[in-house]
Structure 1
Amino acid sequence: MIVGEVIGNIWATRKEDGLVGLKFLVVKPDHQTSIQEGATFVAVDRIGAGVGDKVMVTRGSASSHIEDNPAIPIDALIIGIIDSVEVERGGVSG
């Protein structure tokens, strides 16, 4: 799981049938709270996140299985909007 901040939106009027109705956001990983640091990436949002929100994202094949539907071609899914983060000293290094 990755913690990051939503920094933008992507609009695509033409896309695969399984992606119709899904919202795409650009996420920048937070190097202070995520083990994995890297470049920005696109994640599907179904919970109402927006620019400036800190979010939890799952990546990989798990993200492509939304509900009981067949797998769709995505590799990142926003699974939570973070209200606060508390890290004790010596916990996460950045």
Structure 2
Amino acid sequence: MFLARVTGSVVSTQKVPAMTGHKLLIVEPYRLDADARDRLVTTGRTFITVDTLGAGEGDMVLVCQGSSARLTPETKTLPIDAVIIGIVDSVHAEKKSVYSRND
């Protein structure tokens, strides 16, 4: 699993039938700053994920990737590699708040 921020969406009118009706979002993974360890910083990569929760642009989310992405009831029959499994409210590391949805 990893933390990511939703940066956009993908629309695909032609796809395998199993994917019809599933919302696709672009996410950018974040990690704890290696030096200061007091904030989250982008990894510079992006992924396409299936959204099962109703996340929106700007939300920080928890993403599950690989075969584990197909272990939720909503995704068990889908040909996917990444799924949003949580919308993050806050992140604390080393007794510090490094992200809060309310800030």
Structure number having the greater strand percentage: 2
**Who is 1:72 aligned against?**
78
Judged with a 3 Å threshold, the aligned counterparts in structure 2 of structure 1 residues 12 and 69 are, in CA distance, closer, same or farther, namely closer
TM-score by length of 2: 0.75
What do the CA deviations read for 1:42-94 (whole angstroms, capped 9, x no partner)? 000010001000000000012124417753211000000001111116xxxxx
In structure 1, the residue corresponding to 2:93 is in which secondary structure?
coil
Matched, 1:26 2:26: yes
Q: Unpaired segments of 5 or more residues in structure 1?
A: 90-94
TM-score (norm 1): 0.82
Pair 1:8 & 2:14 matched:
no
Q: Which runs of 4+ in 1 moved over 2 A?
A: 68-71
Q: 2:47 aligns with which of 41, 45, 56?
A: 41
Does residue 50 (structure 1) correspond to residue 63 (structure 2)? The answer is no
Task: Point out where structure 2 has 5 or more consecutive residues left out of the alignment.
Answer: 34-39, 96-103
- Number of matched residues? 88
- 8 Å Cα contact 2:52/2:74 also seen in 1: no
**RMSD between superposed Cα atoms in Å:** 2.3
